[in-house]
Amino acid sequence: MRYGFVGLGQIGGPMAGRLAGPDLIVYDVRAEAMAPLAERGAVAAGSLADVAQAAIISLMVRDDAQVNEVAAALIPAARPGTIIAVHSTIRAQTAVKLAEEAQPYGIEVVDAPVSGGFMGAAAGTLAVMVGASEAAFARVEAAFGAWAGLVLHMGPVGAGTRAKLARNLLHFASFAAVAEAQRLAEAAGIPLGALGRIVRHSDAVTGGPGALMIRDTTSPLPPGDPLREIMAHVFALGDKDLSFALELAGELGVDTPLARHAHRRLAADLGLEEPS
């Protein structure tokens, strides 16, 4: 089976590198990005039409505009039965629209965004969130496994992107929480570098916020649910610690709006009461 790869940047390059060989066709607007893979046996395409010979084609380009541009060239040129997989982080509806446009050609578009950054790409341990039909997922699962450590079927086309956007909401919203915690620590005379080491060490042990993502729904936990006792314990600790942190912030004159919001919402967010 021939595999095509378009977009050989910081993440796409290492991903394609794990497939390098005569069955890989690569394309990038930068010839220098294709050269290392060509040296390892891959075919450096002269155009997107050359990539269209592949049975599975991965796109790891910058944004919606580039995804649409590349797909517009590939869909009419590809053979019926080809799968085009979009790994870029795009708008929630982009892959759905492309799948509809590709259907008359007998081409299947799947969205398969990745998580793990360039470190995961280099190590071959990316997580992939796949939005696809059952049949398409069965075809791409092993192929994606060449450069990923976790390949999950999230649902139909579009589900992969929706999962990635939810995942990245947590990722980037946490940056604001990090900054708030650092402002409190700085005002309290705590060395920020040392605090960062503590956070990275303890989150590596406990799993960090992701360790709490064990529920199948965000609805309130019903009486008798075995998770209620666990979440009640988490709430008791969180309520106490957030109260103390807010008390310290007040003493030091540090504004902590995220902590105040988290304190108000904690019980509901843990499933212990109806959201207000």
Q: pLDDT-based confidence at 1, cuts 50/70/90?
A: confident
Q: What is the mean pLDDT of residues 46-50?
A: 96
> 275 or 95: which carries more pLDDT confidence?
95
Q: How confident is the model at residue 242 (pLDDT cuts 50, 70, 90)?
A: very high
pLDDT bin (cut points 50, 70, 90) of residue 68 is: very high
Asked if residue 276 has pLDDT above 80, the reply is: no
Identify the pLDDT of residue 114.
98
CB contact set of 139 (below 8 Å; sequence gap of 6+): 56, 83
Mean pLDDT of 214-230: 94
Percent residues over pLDDT 70 in the chain: 100
pLDDT given for residue 111 in this prediction: 98
CA distance 8 to 223: 52
Burial of 31 (0-12, 13-18, 19+ CB in 10 A): exposed
Mean pLDDT of 234-255: 98
Longest dimension (CA), the chain: 67
Average pLDDT along the chain: 97
Examine the pLDDT at 274 and tell me if it is beyond 90: no
Q: Indicate if the pLDDT at residue 120 is higher than 80.
A: yes
Q: Note if 164 is an active site residue.
A: yes
pTM: 0.93
What integer pLDDT is reported at residue 132 of this predicted model?
98
Mean pLDDT confidence for 205-213: 95
Catalytic residue among 87, 139, 162, 164: 164
Domains assigned to the chain: 3-156 (3.40.50.720), 163-269 (1.10.1040.10)
Q: How many CB atoms lie within 10 A of CB 233?
A: 11
Residues sharing a CB contact under 8 Å with residue 6, sequence separation 6 or more, in sequence order:
12, 26, 27, 28, 48, 51, 57, 58, 59, 60, 61, 70, 74
- Tell me: the pLDDT tens digits for 147-184? 999 999 999 999 999 999 999 999 999 999 999 999 99
Would you state the pLDDT for residue 158? 98
- Using only C-alpha atoms, the chain has a radius of gyration, in whole angstroms, of 23
Residue whose token pair is 């060395």: 191
Average pLDDT over residues 15-23: 97
The reported pLDDT for the residue numbered 275 is 72
Measure the CA angle with vertex 149, ends 147 and 150; round to 5°: 115
